[in-house]
């Protein structure tokens, strides 16, 4: 599934996409998301996307 574009989605739709894309499985050794986002919750890492300030790919570039 592609991320909703900022211009054609609601904040809640973008938040839900992040929650579904980056679920916490409570096993950091297997998952690694905490390391990817430098200890941030994915919702905090993608806060600019969720609030509509930047597109998904722009924020993703911060964590590559």
pTM for this entry: 0.88
Q: For residue 2, which phi and psi values (nearest 5 degrees)?
A: -80, 150
As a three-state string, the secondary structure of 2-64 is CCCCHHHCCHHHHHHHHHHHCCCCCCHHHHCHHHHCCCCCHHHHCHHHHHCCCCHHHHHHCCC
pLDDT at 19: 96
Is residue 4 a contact partner of residue 13, using CB atoms and an 8 Å limit? yes
Q: What is the pLDDT of residues 34-47, one digit of tens each?
A: 888 888 899 999 99
- Classified as helix, coil or strand, 1 is coil
């Amino acid at each position: 599934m592609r991320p909703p574009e900022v211009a054609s989605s609601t904040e809640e739709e973008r938040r839900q996409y992040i929650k579904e894309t980056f679920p916490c499985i409570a096993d950091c050794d297997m998952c690694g998301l905490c390391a990817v986002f430098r200890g941030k919750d994915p919702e905090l890492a993608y806060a600019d996307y969720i609030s509509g300030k930047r597109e998904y790919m722009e924020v993703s570039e911060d964590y590559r």
